[in-house]
Each structure stands twice: as C-alpha cells, then as structure tokens.
Amino acid sequence: EPRPEVQAYGVGVLAQPAVQNFTIQASAGAEVGGTFIMQYSDKDGNLLAAPANIPATTNPDTAAALLMDAYPDLGLVTASKTPYDWCACIGGAVWSITFDGLLGIGSGETGTLVLTPDGLTGTGVSISPITRIHESSYANGTWVLEDESTGNRTEPLDAQATGDDVKYAIQDALGYKISNVDVSEYNDYGSRRWAVTFADIPGESSPKKALTNDT
C-alpha cells in the first residue's frame, strides 16, 4: 500500500543574548573616578530594579554582580570593560553588558539599562547613551511556501504558525489536500518544525513536488 508523502519545513534560530554597550570618558588628561548608577527598565521605560551603585574603576565582574543583586529577575548577567583610548583620558572605558539570563524572550522585549552619571568625577566626565548591540534571539517574522512546479506561493506564514495555519495556506494557495500537520518546537527561541502529510500525493506513485520556505 502506498504511503502518503510527508514534507517537513522549519524555522530556527540559535541562542543569542541581548548585549548593551556604553562608554565613560573624560577630557584629555583627566582621570575618571567616582561612581555611576545602573538600573534596569522594561521595554516601556519603567524602572524595575533598585539602583546599582557602580564604581567607575571597578572590574566588570563586580559590576555585573551588583546589577544582579539589584534585580535578581535578570538571571545571569556578564560584563566586560575595555579601555577607551580615543578620549586620551585616564580610566575611560567601553562597558558591555550581556543579559545571558534573558534568552529567548523576543527581539525588542529586553529592557534597557538606565545610567545616572551624577557620582562620576573628572574634568569633562560623561557617560554615553546605551547602544543596543544585539537583541535576544527569537524566531519571528514570516515565511512562505512555494510550489516550484507552478510558481504558486502561499500567503506569508507567521514564524509561530499553527498546524492549521500551514494546512489551509497550502490547500488554499497551492491546491494540495493536506491530511495532517504535526508541529514541534525544538528549542526555547521560537524554532519550530512543521511535518506536512499530503493526502493527494501517495508517495512514489506520483512525481515529487518541491516547496521551499523563504524566511
């Protein structure tokens, strides 16, 4: 007895934590000292964390620990700090904060660090606005299926499309009858796989068709 044809399509992303950078500098020849405050806000700008008072000269591990103590819901935070030589000052640095504990929450869903420089010392000392280097990775956007034998394409499908979404998109746009679509998620970042069983293509008894996903 011929077995029905099954085709699988997938949308996937790898883990990528959100990363935010900022720079502290002073006038040429001046020395950066004192403290600044880091606080975590949600995506709408509401402050969620107690102030973390960070010495400008501290090591990045200590700064990360202070931020985690101020807002434990962040989970793991790591930090790095590299000299900012362009300012020709002493103690200028580029800070990078990585939100390892906020993986898979969706692009743009990570909040933003709020920096208060009032405790910094040194002639001309300043702290830059936050630069969002990376967002937390999560599969989003749309994809389509195309029947390469006809050139017909489905309407755009959401990255989180249900089995019925895929089933009826294929039936309506491509004209193939679908008996079942199994959906499986294979990581915590929105990656998912759709296994489509075609009711009207009995395996080897008819030519294969090619459908491609275009994410």
CA distance 116 to 36: 6
Q: What radius of gyration, in Å, describes the C-alpha atoms of the chain? A: 25
User: Is 0.85 topped by the overall pTM?
Assistant: no
Q: What is the pLDDT of residue 102?
A: 73
Encode pLDDT of 100-141 as tens digits: 877 656 556 778 899 999 999 999 999 999 999 887 776 777
Q: What is the pLDDT of residue 185?
A: 79
CA distance 179 to 166: 11
14: left (phi over 0), alpha (psi -120 to 50) or beta: beta
DSSP line for the chain: -PPPPEEEEEE------EEEEEEEE-STT-B-EEEEEEEEE-TTS-B-S--EEEETTS-HHHHHHHHHHH-GGG---EEEEEE-GGG--BS-EEEEEEEGGGTTS-TTTS-EEEEE-TTEESTT-EEPPPEEEEPPP---SEE-EEETTT--BPPPEETT--HHHHHHHHHHHH---EEEEEEEE-STTS-EEEEEEESS--GGGS----EEE--
**pLDDT means over runs of 10, the chain (215 residues):** 79 79 97 96 85 95 94 90 95 94 66 93 96 79 85 88 93 90 79 86 46 52
